[in-house]
């Protein structure tokens, strides 16, 4: 029945699959609950246009602004509330400039709960690594199944920043421990920042991965050694002390590592 309704509404639109202007409000309500997020999006947009056409038009037109760091964001409440999500998604799909897609992704990531499936799909299709590194922040918020899918995408990303962001964001989930299995392989990632993020998150979620962390205490990167030691300390304090002593980490050339080792051994 729902399929027929969609077909009836969308087929006449031909070139514009989103033309739901002839749909009744009741029909839109049904479509806005469709399992297919693209259908939901079209219906939600049409609802937004009918409910507040001016606001929707403004959201469609608003330009992001340069942050102090130089990249773009939407520094306005108007684009950071749940009912802005359909416009954000629509613009994201049709926007060609990655800088603007990044700004849209920033808002979307926080408003992603009802659109988790959309975010996962957009993440998979997004060509720009910076945009992906922003979009993956949805990992903090979305339900576990979609979060798992997003983590899989993120940890397999070709770009190290995306992989590192994904790994660090798992630490922000209350069920982050459930994702530890996705992080352990990242301890051997060729990129230093990924090894750091994976170690930090494994320490925060207190995953039982002490053995996997120990090799990182001899990593060529002092930052990796630092965060591996800290993670190990959070997981198993006595083990961290034992390793700090065995590896003489108080003599590490990096003052941060030696200071941490000193603190651990001093307890």
Chain center to CA of 237: 30
55 contacts 78 by C-beta, under 8 angstroms: yes
Applying the rule CB under 8 A, the residues between 31 and 60 that interact with another protein are: 58
Choose, by CB under 8 A, the member of 168, 187, 235, 252 that binds another protein. 168
Shortest gap between Cβ of 14 and another protein (angstroms)? Answer: 34
Should residue 85 be labelled a site residue for another protein when binding is judged by CB under 8 A? no
Given candidates 40, 90, 132, 173, which one binds another protein under the rule CB under 8 A?
Answer: 173
Q: What Å distances lie between residue 12 and 9, 23, 27, 168, CA to CA?
A: 7, 12, 15, 46
Q: Judged by CB under 8 A, does residue 86 bind another protein?
A: no
Chain centroid, CA 109 distance in Å: 7
Instruction: Please identify, using beta-carbon distances, which residue of 80 and 210 lies nearer to another protein.
Output: 80
Q: Indicate the DSSP class of residue 1.
A: -
Nearest residue (CB) to another protein, 20 versus 73: 73
Site string for another protein, 178-217 (x = CB under 8 A): ---------------x---x--xx-xxx------------
Are the CB atoms for 79 and 70 separated by under 8 Å? no
Under a CB-based contact definition with an 8 Å cutoff, are residues 163 and 157 in contact? yes
Closer residue to another protein, CB minimum distance, 2 or 263: 263
């Amino acid at each position: 029945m729902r399929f027929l309704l969609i077909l009836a509404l969308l087929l006449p639109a031909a070139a514009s699959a989103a033309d739901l202007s002839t749909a009744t409000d009741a029909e839109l309500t049904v479509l806005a609950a469709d399992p297919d997020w693209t259908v939901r999006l079209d219906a939600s947009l049409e609802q937004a246009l009918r409910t507040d056409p001016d606001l929707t038009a403004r959201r469609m037109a608003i330009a992001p602004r340069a942050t102090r760091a130089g990249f773009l964001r939407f520094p306005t409440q108007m684009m950071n509330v749940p009912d802005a999500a359909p416009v954000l998604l629509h613009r994201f799909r049709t926007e060609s400039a990655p800088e603007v897609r990044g700004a849209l992704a920033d808002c979307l990531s926080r408003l992603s709960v009802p659109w988790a499936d959309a975010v996962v799909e957009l993440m998979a299709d997004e060509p720009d690594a910076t945009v992906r590194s922003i979009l993956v922040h949805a990992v903090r918020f979305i339900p576990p199944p979609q979060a798992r899918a997003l983590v899989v995408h993120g940890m397999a990303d070709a770009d190290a920043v995306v992989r590192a962001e994904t790994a660090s964001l798992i630490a922000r989930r209350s069920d982050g421990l459930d994702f530890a299995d996705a992080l352990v392989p990242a301890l051997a990632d060729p990129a230093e920042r990924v090894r750091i993020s994976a170690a930090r998150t494994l320490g925060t979620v207190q995953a039982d991965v002490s053995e996997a962390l120990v090799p990182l205490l001899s990593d060529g990167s002092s930052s990796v050694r630092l965060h591996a030691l800290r993670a190990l300390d959070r997981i198993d304090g006595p083990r961290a002390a034992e390793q700090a002593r065995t590896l003489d980490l108080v003599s590490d050339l990096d003052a941060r590592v030696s200071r941490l080792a000193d603190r651990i051994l001093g307890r």
